[in-house]
């Protein structure tokens, strides 16, 4: 029939390219047969997957709704406009841009909108939890800008806001960044706002990791305090891989121009539409329950690992992730990652503050609970997962136990 929906068709893929079809099936089997504990990963809904595999991928749409450089954009305009309004409503933002292809791309656009090459930026040091785009010398942020890093304290591994203020007064940055990839505690956005105001700096919040917790009302929002909030739409938010920027109305035009035409060409309209779907899902009451459970699970997992002799950095977590110091077990993060991977437990090695090891070896691991929470697991399962991780790290065979656990909470369960 003419009005029949034509979307993802696995039979067509299998007939055209059986090798890639096998990759898709094998990845699904990996997800279903193991524990996904990468803090920056999640399982999107079937609705999000459907949009990603739809005919929207065909449309070229340089520009913004109502202001495109190509014809035939009426339908994709509707999708992007819906997504923008949903983002603004969900986060209480004055302006939203859903076009960045990634979180790093969103950060690049923020730099481009607010700074000139050579300007000074104050951000969390990478070895202490910061992101590549916060000043790494191999990244645009470290090559094009004068970046100054703030550490966490040695005694409690928390941000020292007095030291941040001292560094800001000393270096007078044009922009201050708060947010991290491996910092398990809440960030005092109001305190950062006050420091930024004192030195007349922009405040950018990199909320890539925790924006989904904000969407669910599980942690405080940075939006009222920041000039610009950059985020990803995957991770806890459970949408497609991609980026998003929220900002004050006075910066809207600068942000939009920094995304297009300065850093990107045509947006990925299937991804933009999928972001709109995820934002609608995140506005539902069930998602708020999910966000709170993600944190409860992370705390239970951190406590369970502590009971197995693994020290949670900063003593625990307030978010979706925990950073675990393995030095008491005399094992490196890389070794732990490899042993867990062999058991069907996917997590990542990670440097800990003041780590004596090199980053590719690391003294710690990072664990996150977005995916297992999406699968329906709660605190009892987190305690079991902690025991499985500990056993895997010790070299014990636990792959069968992992498969038994995931079978009870399958990823993408069959109808």
Give residue 192's domain range: 55-282
Taking residue 29's Cβ as centre, other Cβ atoms within 10 Å add up to: 11
The yes-or-no verdict on residue 136 having pLDDT over 90 is yes
Judge whether residue 184 has pLDDT over 80.
Answer: yes
Q: Give the domain-ending residue among 256, 282, 308.
A: 282
User: Strand 202-206 vs strand 228-232: parallel, antiparallel, or unpaired?
Assistant: parallel
- Bind-site residues for (6S)-5,6,7,8-tetrahydrofolate: 126, 130-132, 249
CATH number of the domain enclosing 111: 3.40.640.10
Which pLDDT band holds residue 2 (cuts at 50, 70, 90)? very low
97 and 181 within one domain: yes
> For residues 25 and 350, what is the distance between their CA atoms, to the nearest angstrom?
29
User: Does 332 lie in the same domain as 268?
Assistant: no
Instruction: Say whether both 301 and 257 belong to one domain.
Output: no
Residue 12 is predicted with a pLDDT of 87
Q: Evaluate if pTM is beyond 0.85.
A: yes
Read off φ and ψ for residue 75, nearest 5 degrees: -75, -45
Domains: count for the chain: 2
Asked if residue 30 is part of any domain, the answer here is no
Same domain as 244, residue 96: yes
Average of per-residue pLDDT values in the chain: 96
pLDDT at res. 5? 57
Q: Looking at the annotation, which residues are catalytic? A: 60, 62, 206, 232, 235, 241
258-265 average pLDDT score = 97
CA distance linking residue 225 with residue 192, whole number of Å: 8
Residue 7 has pLDDT above 70, yes or no: no
Indicate if the pLDDT at residue 336 is higher than 90: yes
Helical (H) or strand (E) element with 294? helix 285-307
Q: Which of 282, 305, 330 is the last residue of a domain?
A: 282
pLDDT of residue 413: 87
Looking at the structure, tell me whether residues 216 and 361 fall in a common domain.
no
Percent of the chain with pLDDT over 70: 98
Binding residues are 126, 130-132, 249
Over residues 26-83, the pLDDT tens digits come to: 999 999 999 999 999 999 999 999 999 999 999 999 999 999 999 999 999 999 999 9
Contact 145, 108 (CB under 8 A): no
In a domain, 43, yes or no: no
The reply to whether 238 falls in a domain is yes
- Whether 338 has a pLDDT exceeding 60, the answer reads yes
> Domain boundary residue among 282, 315, 340?
282
| Local structure of residue 62 (DSSP, 8 states) | -
Residue 3: predicted pLDDT: 56
């Amino acid at each position: 029939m003419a009005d029949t929906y034509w979307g993802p068709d696995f039979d067509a893929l299998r007939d055209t390219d059986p090798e890639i079809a096998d990759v898709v099936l094998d990845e699904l089997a990996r997800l279903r047969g193991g524990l996904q504990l990468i803090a920056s990963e999640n399982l999107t809904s079937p609705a999000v997957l459907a949009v990603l595999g739809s005919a929207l991928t065909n449309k070229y749409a340089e520009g913004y709704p109502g202001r495109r450089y190509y014809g035939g954009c009426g339908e994709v305009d509707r999708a992007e406009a819906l997504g923008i309004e949903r983002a603004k409503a969900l986060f209480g933002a004055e302006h939203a841009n859903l076009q960045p292809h990634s979180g790093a791309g969103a950060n690049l656009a923020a730099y481009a909108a607010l700074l000139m090459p050579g300007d000074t930026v104050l951000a969390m040091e990478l070895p202490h939890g910061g992101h590549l785009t916060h000043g790494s010398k191999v990244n645009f942020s470290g090559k094009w800008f004068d970046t100054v890093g703030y550490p966490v304290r040695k005694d409690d591994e928390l941000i020292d806001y007095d030291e941040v203020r001292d560094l800001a007064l000393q270096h007078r940055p044009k922009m201050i960044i708060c947010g991290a990839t491996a910092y398990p505690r809440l960030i005092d956005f109001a305190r950062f706002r006050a420091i930024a105001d004192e030195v007349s700096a922009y405040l950018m919040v990199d909320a890539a990791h925790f924006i989904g917790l904000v969407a669910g009302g599980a942690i405080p929002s940075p939006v009222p305090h920041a000039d610009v909030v950059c985020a990803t739409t995957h991770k806890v938010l459970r949408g497609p891989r991609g980026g998003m920027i929220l900002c004050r109305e006075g910066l809207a035009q600068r942000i939009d121009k920094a995304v297009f035409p300065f850093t990107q060409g045509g947006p990925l309209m299937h991804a933009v539409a999928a972001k709109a779907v995820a934002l609608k899902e995140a506005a539902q009451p069930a998602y708020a329950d999910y966000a709170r459970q993600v944190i409860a699970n992370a705390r239970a997992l951190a406590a369970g690992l502590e009971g197995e002799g693994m020290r949670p950095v900063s003593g625990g977590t307030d978010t979706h992730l925990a950073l675990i110091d393995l030095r008491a077990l005399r094992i490196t993060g890389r070794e732990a990652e490899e042993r867990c991977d062999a058991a069907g437990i996917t997590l990542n090695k990670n440097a800990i503050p003041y780590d004596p090891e090199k980053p590719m070896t690391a003294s710690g691991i990072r664990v996150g609970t977005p995916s297992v929470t999406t699968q329906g697991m709660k605190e009892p399962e987190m305690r079991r997962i902690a025991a499985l991780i500990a056993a895997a790290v010790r070299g014990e065979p636990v792959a069968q136990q992992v498969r038994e656990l995931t079978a009870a909470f399958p990823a993408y369960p069959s109808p």
